[in-house]
Amino acid sequence: MKMTDDNFAKLVAEEVKNKVSPSNKKLLLNKENWNRWERALVALVENLNDQLRSIDEDIEADTERYSSIEDGHVLLSEALSSYESRKKKIERFRFHVENRLVDVSKMIETGVELEDDVMTRLVLLQKSIKKHKEMMVSNDIEPTPIDHALWASLDGAWNFDAIRKEDLIDA
């Protein structure tokens, strides 16, 4: 049975709060759901931004409304206090949602689950070295001994210690 978008969005929000069961976490970590997870997080950030804009509009309206009545400054002060409290909660949650969005985007880019941060970095480094070599070749840039040593590391060889200063000067 496929989960509705609304239920999936609720699951995503609960996951950000660390309030999901292991089976639901496993559902999110299923590779087929990563893009959907990312879209739900983007929608959540947009929703939170809309809520913050709405609060700002309410603050502006209340400021106008209460400034024209006697003792309005007391009512305005109470309203502003309530608005600021709501804004802080929303901003704190948005911070965590944005961080999770970064994590999920990294998962999609690297193809590695976010739970395995060391593996994520390793995959990122491998992709970076491969891209470096690809760019050097495609742009006809002559590789240095350091470049060759870097590329050899993809095959598990450590060739940096064999590089001499003279090899770099001639390169």
- Cα angle, residue 55 at apex, residues 103 and 105 outer, rounded to 5°: 10
Gap between the Cα atoms of 123 and 117, Å rounded? 10
Q: Check residue 9 and give its pLDDT.
A: 95
Block residue for tokens 């998962």: 107
For residue 36 the two structure tokens come to 């959907």
Residues of the chain by 3-state class (helix, strand, coil), percent to 5: 80, 0, 20
Whether 68 has a pLDDT exceeding 90, the answer reads: no
The size of the chain, in residues, is 171
Q: Mind listing the pLDDT tens digit for each residue in 109-128? A: 888 776 656 666 777 788 88
As a whole number, mean pLDDT of residues 15-22 equals 91
Helix (H) or strand (E) holding 56: helix 34-67
- Quick: pLDDT tens for 20-54: 998 898 899 999 999 999 999 999 999 999 999 99
- Which residues, at least 6 apart from 35, have a Cβ–Cβ distance to it below 8 Å? 108
